[in-house]
């Protein structure tokens, strides 16, 4: 496979990779991960239309909105460009030795159970908030 030479350049906000990594694994990332993410978005040509871009900018500003819109889209439009960008970052983080503990654990701790339960129990609220943002914004 080679990079498509006809691809268009996609504008990516400088804090996008950092925000996404913080949302997905709650850890800071190095410059190499940022570069890798931006390269992948360009190669995969994951561009956003004007409405998606507005929502995306809002998502990157508030982590509650990021998780809410993601929760809503996971149910309604799993393969939309916004989810594709999040997926790219997830794949890049997973394929990096620094974040291995975010994807596997030897033995879950009490805090892991609480974290998971909180995330799952708040999902309906996040979905509702996601609907409001997508429909109203």
Partner 1 sequence: MAGAHSAQTLVESGLKVCMLDVGYADDYYKKITPKDDFCSIRKNNKNQHEIFLGKYFESIQLGGVKIGAQLTPGRSHLIKDINKYLPVVSDTFSPYESLAYGGLGSGWGAGAFTFSNPELKAMGLDKTEFEKAYNVINSRIGISGERDDSSPFCNDKLANLQSPVKLDSNSSKIYEKYLRNRSKVNNLDVYLGRSNLAVLTEDFNGREKLKYREMSFYDDHGESVYRPWMTVNVLLEKDNFVYQPGILVTSFSEKETYVEVRSIDTKTNEQKIFKCKKLVLASGVLSTARIVLRSADSHEKLPLLCNPYTYLPTMNFSRIAKPIESQRTSLSQLFMFYDKYRNNMDVSTCSFYSYRSLLSFRIIKEMPLAMRDSRLLMRYLLPALTIIGIHHPERGSDFKYLCLDKDDSKMTGDILRISYKLSCEETHENRSREKVITKALFKLGLIPLTKETPGMGASIHYCGTLPFSNEERLFTLGFDGKLMGSKNVFVADSSGFKYLPSKGITLTLMANAHNIASKIIEKRGFD
Cβ pair 45, 7 in contact under 8 A: yes
Nearest to 29 by CA among 95, 75, 73, 107: 95
Which of these segments, 8-16, 52-60, 104-112, binds partner 1 (CB under 8 A)? Answer: 104-112
Of 112, 82, 94, nearest to 24 (Cα)?
Answer: 94
Q: In what helix (H) or strand (E) does residue 85 lie, and over which residues does it extend?
A: helix 81-94
Does residue 132 bind partner 1 (CB under 8 A)? Answer: no
User: Considering the rule CB under 8 A, would residue 25 count as an interface residue with partner 1?
Assistant: yes
Closest by CA position to 40, among listed 16, 58, 71: 16
Is 36 one of the binding residues for partner 1 (CB under 8 A)?
A: yes
136 binds partner 1 (CB under 8 A): no
Taking CB under 8 A as the rule, does residue 8 contact partner 1? no
Per CB under 8 A, residues contacting partner 1 are 1-3, 23-25, 36, 39-40, 43-44, 46, 67-68, 70-71, 74-75, 78-79, 83-84, 86-88, 90-92, 94-97, 100, 102-108, 112, 115-116, 119-120, 123, 126
């Amino acid at each position: 496979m080679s990079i498509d030479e006809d691809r268009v350049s996609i504008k990516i906000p400088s804090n996008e990779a950092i925000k996404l990594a913080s949302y997905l694994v709650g850890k800071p990332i190095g410059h190499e991960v940022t570069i890798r993410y931006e390269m992948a978005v360009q190669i995969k040509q994951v561009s956003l239309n004007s409405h998606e871009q507005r929502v995306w900018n809002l998502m990157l500003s508030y982590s509650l909105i990021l998780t809410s819109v993601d929760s809503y889209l996971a149910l309604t439009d799993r393969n939309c460009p916004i989810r594709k960008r999040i997926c790219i970052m997830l794949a890049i983080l997973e394929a990096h030795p620094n974040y291995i503990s975010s994807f596997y654990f030897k033995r879950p701790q009490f805090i892991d159970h609480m974290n998971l339960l909180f995330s799952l129990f708040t999902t309906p609220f996040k979905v509702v908030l996601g609907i409001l943002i997508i429909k109203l914004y």
